[in-house]
Amino acid sequence: MTQTDYEHQKSDHFSWMQWINLSIDNAKEFYEDVKTNLREITNQLFSKASKELFFFISKLTSIDIFFGSITFCIISLASLFLASGLGLIGYQLFLWIKNGTWSEFAVIEVFNFLFENTLAAQWLSKPESWFGLQKIVEWLLKNIPLSVALIVPSIIILVGMICLTFIALTFRYYQFKTQEKN
């Protein structure tokens, strides 16, 4: 068997170091250029956005502000219910970590607390008519977790109101711009 000897090429470490240093310097220069350009673009965007926002706010009427306030109240109330549902889940999680058992809070507990000795509670406990509806309502109240009953409608209302607000603001902005052009 024949063995072939290969000569190792001599490597010049100095040229590699120069290449690495040159690449690092180029990267630093590129980073500085990007940072400068992004700062300039951001300043231009903020300047343009503030001018448009000032234009938009100056054109709003008292009716716009009234409906905006109603929308803000609805969004705030939905956010409060969402926070309550998340807080309830946090409390259930705390109890689960502490005791090792999951505490269930059904909607029926809140229903009994809020509607005790009312006509609705009496109908639910002893219905005289609409027996099928009573069974459906009772099943829903006993089986739907309170956290889900708080969170899901809140998210639906929040998403709906935010979309509606966005559409209304876009429409009003378009109206103001077309009025300005005419």
Helix, strand or coil, per DSSP, at residue 106: strand
Q: What is the pLDDT of residue 9?
A: 61
Measure the CA dihedral 94/74/154/167, to 10°. -130
List per-block mean pLDDT (blocks of 10 residues) for the chain, which spans 182 residues. Answer: 64 74 93 96 96 93 96 98 97 95 92 92 90 94 95 98 96 93 83
* CA 36 – CA 164 distance, rounded (Å): 38
Strands (E), 76-175: none
Q: What is the pLDDT of residue 13?
A: 64
DSSP 154: H
* CA 119 – CA 116 distance, rounded (Å): 9
Which residue carries 């170091």 as its tokens?
A: 17
Tens digit of each residue's pLDDT (9 = 90 or more) over 148-167: 999 999 999 999 999 999 99
Q: What is the pLDDT of residue 77?
A: 98
Which of 109, 105, 111, 71 is CA-nearest to residue 87?
A: 105
Q: What is the pLDDT of residue 16?
A: 77
* CA 158 – CA 160 distance, rounded (Å): 5
Burial of 78 (0-12, 13-18, 19+ CB in 10 A): buried
Helix, strand or coil, per DSSP, at residue 74: helix
Q: What is the pLDDT of residue 15?
A: 78
